[in-house]
Amino acid sequence: MEKQVSLLSRVVQFDRTFDARSENGLVVGVVFQAVYPPSVQEKDAFRSAVDRISFRDAQNRPVEIVEIDAGGNLGENLDNAEVDILYVSRLQDVDLRQLTEVTRARGILTFSSQARYVEQGLAVALEPSSSDQPILINLTAVDSEGSDFRPGLLKMANVIQRMP
- Whether residue 46 lies inside any domain: the answer is yes
Instruction: Assess if residue 163 is contained within a domain.
Output: no
| Whole-number pLDDT of residue 59 | 86
Range of the domain at 94: 2-114
Instruction: Tell me whether residue 60 is in a domain.
Output: yes
**Angle 129-108-98 from CA coordinates, rounded to 5°:** 90
The CATH number linked to 84 is 3.40.50
Is the residue at 133 inside a domain?
Answer: no
Q: Does residue 136 fall inside a structural domain?
A: no
Q: Does 159 map to a domain?
A: no
Residue 139 has pLDDT above 80, yes or no: yes
User: Mind listing the pLDDT tens digit for each residue in 72-113?
Assistant: 889 999 999 999 999 999 999 888 999 999 999 999 999 999
Tally of domains in the chain: 1
Over residues 40-67, the mean pLDDT reads: 92
Is 103 inside any structural domain? yes
Q: What is the DSSP string of 97-147?
A: HHHHHHHHHHT-EEEES-HHHHHTT-SEEE-TT-SS--EEEEHHHHHHTT-
Domain-located, residue 147: no
Query: Can you give the pLDDT at residue 83?
Result: 95
pLDDT tens per residue across span 20-47: 888 888 999 999 999 999 999 999 999 9
